[in-house]
Amino acid sequence: MPEGHSVHRLARQFTDVFGGRRIRTTSPQGRFTEGAARMDGQVLEAARAHGKHFFADLADGHVLNVHLGMYGAWSFGGDERFDAASSIGAPRRIGEREVHADGAAAAEPDRDDDGWVLPPPPVPTVRLRVRAEHGWADLIGASTCRLLTPAEASDVVAKLGPDPLNDDDPAPFLDLAGRTRRPIGTVLMDQAAVGGIGNIFRAEALFRAGLDPWRPSNDVPREVLRGLWSDNAELMREGVRLGRIVTTRPEHRPGVPAEQAWPEHANYVYQRQGSPCLVCGQDAIVVEEMAARKLYRCTVCQR
């Protein structure tokens, strides 16, 4: 379920917590036993993201590649040095819904004989558990979890479109979008066209641009496509900063202070069918199906 911003946050937290450190790895579920054995005892150099793909580079040259798919999530835990290391506020869970520690002071965690923080017993579905001295991470539900060679990892990236969060050149997206007559709503979700946009950013960016998602992509002027790219980049960067997707402008959040961290009306159209549009006020937000996914739009504002 996570869109690109979550995966970039994940890569940052991973680098903060595990980067340059020796790790121990297991696969309690048993579906990644070989990979976990190969990773075990290595130094994790750094983690990175492209679109919705996560990569972690290991000292022996192998690359851990994870795609969370629809249901994947990472859970984290650790001691005070784990909290201090995380530049994004040490979320406890990154996946379908991000969760932070509640305010209560955490008890001093248990440690093993080597003095490493001891995680709780894993739930049976943990595909991969990563431990370092000060923190740990559990992966569940991922659609992809595998070890690649650097060449294989490059191939994965090469098949993806440019990623706004990596400051990539948008030209490949503009070119592809400019020559296909598939609906612009489909093209924005196509990971080979642009990396990291999912169902929420797709719906919200098209609303903000006043574009009908069903409009043929090659009918959208290049300058408008360029605007879609930069608006998505902005929304996704804000998503990385906040750890959640907020796409409404403050003036469209009636009665909610602009600086409020968790605004009530965070989105314009996503899952707002049947509610009045925050811009035109009409009961015009509909949900339809596009390429087997829910498509939300305002029939008044988007044409």
Partner DNA sequence: TAACTATGCCAAG
Partner DNA sequence: TTGGCCTAGTTAC
Task: Cite the active site residues.
Answer: 2-3, 52, 293
Q: How far is the CB of 164 from DNA (least distance, A)?
A: 14
Q: How far is the CB of 81 from DNA (least distance, A)?
A: 26
Residue for token digits 């629809």?
70
Q: How far is the CB of 74 from DNA (least distance, A)?
A: 12
- Total residues contacting DNA by CB under 7 A comes to 33
Distances in Å between the Cα of 225 and the Cα atoms of 175, 182, 218 are: 10, 14, 10
If binding is defined by CB under 7 A, does position 292 make contact with DNA? yes
Q: Using the rule CB under 7 A, which residue among 29, 65, 86, 267 binds DNA?
A: 29
Q: How far is residue 242's CA from residue 130's CA, in Å, rounded to a whole number?
A: 25
Scan residues 132-161 and list those touching DNA (CB under 7 A). Answer: 140-141, 143
- Amino acid in position 90: A
Reduced DSSP (H G I as helix, E B as strand, rest coil) percent helix, strand, coil of the chain, to 5: 30, 20, 50
Q: Using the rule CB under 7 A, which residue among 226, 253, 265, 293 binds DNA?
A: 293
Nearer to DNA, 59 or 123 (CB): 123
Nearer to DNA, 116 or 213 (CB): 213
Nearer to DNA, 85 or 269 (CB): 269
Nearer to DNA, 100 or 222 (CB): 100
Q: How far is residue 282's CA from residue 300's CA, in Å, rounded to a whole number?
A: 8
Q: Using the rule CB under 7 A, which residue among 96, 234, 238, 288 binds DNA?
A: 96
- Amino acid in position 297: R
As given in the structure block, the two tokens for residue 26 are 């297991």
Nearer to DNA, 147 or 160 (CB): 160
Q: How far is the CB of 237 from DNA (least distance, A)?
A: 15
Q: Using the rule CB under 7 A, which residue among 69, 172, 178, 243 binds DNA?
A: 69
Q: Let me know if 223 is exposed, middle or buried by CB neighbors in 10 A (0-12, 13-18, 19+).
A: exposed
Strand order in the sheet with 63-67: 21-22, 43-50, 53-58, 63-67, 144-148
Q: Using the rule CB under 7 A, which residue among 46, 80, 89, 125 binds DNA?
A: 125
If binding is defined by CB under 7 A, does position 199 make contact with DNA? yes
DSSP designation for 224: H
Paired strand residues for 75: 93, 138
Q: How far is the CB of 296 from DNA (least distance, A)?
A: 8
Nearer to DNA, 40 or 96 (CB): 96
**Within 13 Å, how many C-alpha atoms sit on residue 202's CB side?**
25
Candidates 72, 60, 65, 62; CA nearest to 11 is 65
Stretch that binds DNA, among 37-45, 77-85, 275-283, 287-295 (CB under 7 A): 287-295
Find the helix or strand (DSSP H, E) in which 296 lies. Answer: strand 293-298
Which residues make up the interface to DNA (CB under 7 A)?
1-3, 6, 29, 31, 51-52, 67, 69-73, 96-97, 123, 125, 127, 140-141, 143, 189, 191, 198-200, 245, 271, 291-294
